[in-house]
Structure 1
């Protein structure tokens, strides 16, 4: 891609960083606002009861298992389509156009979900999956290109960008969740779409500031160098590799769609393979997994010892990543249902006043800080991208209006029930509050090895579920759990995320040779996709386990799984360090 940037780009700075960073910051913020605003509603909407005479607040009354199967497929696809989106951007359309195309498709998806029809709902989900495939891998790509000549500022730029991600998630879940739960589901879906549209326009109209960032170069020397790189035939994929990848891909996609279809009684593509102890679709997945492991190992074994060992280290870390996300992502499925059905969310009197004051500060203070950043950006770049800034200001006027309306509604009540979606905002809030503190650990003499970072992260997630398990022990019918237990659970889960998520991709880039980087990043995202599906499928069992055993049994199951994985990865530390051959 062409790395020439306009002179204005270099001259205009905000808070010591290039002003273009904040264009990306706000674009990503509104996209995450829309994405998480919709995501926090999905399981609630699917499992909500049908309310006669009130279609706006009626759900589809699915079971947790049925809803988990659909959500799992949706979440799985969100991590698979970016693999293809990144390839298309690199080879054909460039990162900037990919972002715009992805954002437009996602806007259409959010708009479709605002309509109260089944067909439009599924069209909306499909658009969100496809749009995310174009959008997700290419925003970080543009950011990396933006700071290619300024590596000393790159860490700070990514930190600011990461804050934009979490700010968007925080406000999206809070405001879309509140609107949906008080005014009707499709109002919440619609609000997500409004910000996706405005975020798209803001990015598109910022073109004069961004120069040629994210645009594929037509310079003959650059094209020739890229072509030479693409013709690198060292350890090429064989015809057998392509055949095995195709087989695994076909089985995987058929399973992903068969799972929700079969659990909703529509069709089961693998029913002829069912046995008395295992469903046909799971037999096919086991076969696909064996084929995939054979293909992956045979591919890695073609390299020399050091490269081979380092890639096996990445595969081991990706394996344990599955256990982390399988547990952590209960926040999008089972913990949403737990917050709705089993947590005491009712407040009144001084407790309500205290909550409203805290919630008001949590809303107003970060919104004021980000608005200040917006003003700094507008002052610096108004002459270059006035229309983009006008759209940004419009976004903030809407979000300020929605936030103040929400707070005034809550302060006017003598008694209130906290919205289910409010608990989901805790993860983003804790990340914003704790990220810098945890990151300082990586710069100190106490910086743990990769295996111990993963181990600590998994143990912290296990502790979070242990807290909920203890809080739910012995509760009788009609008695609910104190919300303090769920708040503490989200705190431990966020600490676990901070130990694992930010460092994972960093290890891939350090350990894998350039010619295998795209393939191994694909493996990494595949591991997360598998974990997302497992998380939703297992989370869908919360109602079944609660009825047959108890709610605490469900939480103790998710205490045991990450705890065992955490202990195992720490025991494997000497082996993983040896495989890394000196990479820190």
Structure 2
């Protein structure tokens, strides 16, 4: 496979820029989502309560990652990973265009389209990155960290541009800018995909009835269309908050059933079953981490708007820009973290995968201690300096760098080759569960429940801290389940 002067395959840069533009569109729109929903109707918003907006936010972000599991299946079994990325991007672009129409019905239809397109693109994009580094090891970790930088470059500029347009020019302009970003990503992918070589061209159809699988997919999509049509037409009334709780149980149940199927019915070898246990641990750690981390788009975003001093001279910094702090810190810290992993690996002192995950949870816990302190001060004395939220985001970003790119890389190493796309979907399903829990948590610390914010944040800190310590204690035992995997 042809390599660039950096030593990485040339294909990584095709995937880097495609993912960069897709994340520009996703995070750019997400920066506006809760603020648009809680904004008054006279300001062009939807006028929803904080609790309802947080629940919708959680449902949407959860659906993005929940659809990664069937998206991985479609890439594995039907389209091939590369075609799945292409068609996923087209669906995302269409979703952002529909969001820009600016009506209640088009808003929910657009969210569904973006969610399903993202699910199709995300798991297969990560699978392609893993296939570019068949040798595994620290080089693959470095490749995923580079790829993760592409995510955050896109997120940074998407949140800055779409956030400013949405808050200062008009909500529809922010949503439409996200559509332009995805379109540019598609153009870039088509022009440079030759560098990906033979990777991801074919799906694995061996021993399966392909026509039956296509019919299953068509039936599933038809069911989704019917449900969305019933919901947006008002024929079926949905209690969003209760639906969010039900969805959390559904996601957890889906994960349990999938792991049971994979362990007992997928005809895995004993070594593969041991690695499956490690993937289960990663799933649980991921769900807990993202339940806390995703407050940046919901309760932290509302905190930035209502309880943070944002005046800079005569200009008020958009509240949505607090979300841009995370990718900004990632861009600055990711190369340093990648160099650190490589240096430790050369010296033979690299921490285990489980140890890195435990560090992520401990960073999350520390961040929520700071968030609880900031919330207590804001409720007692009024708006606080932005340095409070900046400190929280820095701590959570370090945790993210210990968990997310390393976890992405680890799943591609641990997954049975014929289930790689599906296992990437399971990894993202952990994010999905975390996101829906994040929305539920955010609804319990804003609006009428604002007084509970410090106590709830401390509860999250305690849960994450204990989990991180337990994971650190079990690190050596978990490492023994995956011999040869770093």
Q: Give the TM-score range, shorter chain.
A: 0.7 to 0.9
Distance 1:195 1:519, change over 3 A: closer
Q: Which has the bigger relative contact order, CA under 8 A and spacing at least 6?
A: 2
**Match for 1:39 among 16, 30, 43?**
30
**Residue correspondence of structure 1 range 313-328 to structure 2 within 5 A:** 313-328=278-293
- Quote how far apart the aligned CAs of 1:421 are: 1.8
- Corresponding residue for residue 90 of structure 2: 104
- Quote how far apart the aligned CAs of 1:331 are: 1.2
Is 1:417 aligned to residue 387 of structure 2?
no
**Match for 2:188 among 195, 202, 218?**
202
- SS of the residue 2:41 aligns to: coil
- SS of the residue 1:481 aligns to: coil
Q: Deviations over 1:190-214 (max 9, x none)?
A: 1111222222223224466666554
- Quote how far apart the aligned CAs of 1:521 are: 3.5
**Match for 2:396 among 467, 489, 493?**
493
- Corresponding residue for residue 267 of structure 1: 237
**Residue correspondence of structure 1 range 115-154 to structure 2 within 5 A:** 115-145=101-131
Is 1:172 aligned to residue 74 of structure 2?
no
Is 1:331 aligned to residue 296 of structure 2?
yes
Distance 1:42 1:336, change over 3 A: same
- Corresponding residue for residue 387 of structure 1: none
Alignment partners' CA distance in 2, 1:90 and 1:195: 27
Distance 1:469 1:340, change over 3 A: same
Q: TM-score, normalised by structure 1?
A: 0.70
Alignment partners' CA distance in 1, 2:56 and 2:81: 30
- Corresponding residue for residue 212 of structure 2: none
Is 1:428 aligned to residue 391 of structure 2?
no
Is 1:504 aligned to residue 474 of structure 2?
no
- Corresponding residue for residue 469 of structure 1: 372
RMSD over aligned Cα atoms: 3.8
- SS of the residue 2:437 aligns to: helix
**Match for 2:468 among 566, 571, 580?**
566
- Quote how far apart the aligned CAs of 1:151 are: 9.4
- Quote how far apart the aligned CAs of 1:555 are: 2.4
Number of equivalenced pairs: 465
- Quote how far apart the aligned CAs of 1:554 are: 3.3
Distance 1:558 1:205, change over 3 A: same
Equivalent residues of 1:545, 1:554 under 8 A apart: no
Equivalent residues of 1:64, 1:542 under 8 A apart: no
Is 1:345 aligned to residue 336 of structure 2?
no
Alignment partners' CA distance in 1, 2:178 and 2:244: 35
**Match for 1:30 among 4, 21, 24?**
21
Equivalent residues of 2:329, 2:397 under 8 A apart: yes
Alignment partners' CA distance in 2, 1:58 and 1:570: 48
- Corresponding residue for residue 455 of structure 1: 358
- Quote how far apart the aligned CAs of 1:457 are: 0.9
Distance 1:491 1:301, change over 3 A: same
**Match for 1:48 among 20, 28, 39?**
39
Residue range with higher mean Cα deviation, 554-563 or 327-336: 554-563
Equivalent residues of 1:301, 1:308 under 8 A apart: no
Residue range with higher mean Cα deviation, 557-566 or 181-190: 557-566
Equivalent residues of 2:75, 2:421 under 8 A apart: no
Alignment partners' CA distance in 2, 1:213 and 1:510: 16
Q: TM-score, normalised by structure 2?
A: 0.83
- SS of the residue 1:136 aligns to: helix
- Quote how far apart the aligned CAs of 1:290 are: 6.3
Alignment partners' CA distance in 1, 2:473 and 2:139: 36
- Corresponding residue for residue 514 of structure 1: 417
**Residue correspondence of structure 1 range 249-398 to structure 2 within 5 A:** 267=237, 289=252, 293=256, 296-297=259-260, 299-300=262-263, 306-348=271-313
Alignment partners' CA distance in 1, 2:419 and 2:383: 51
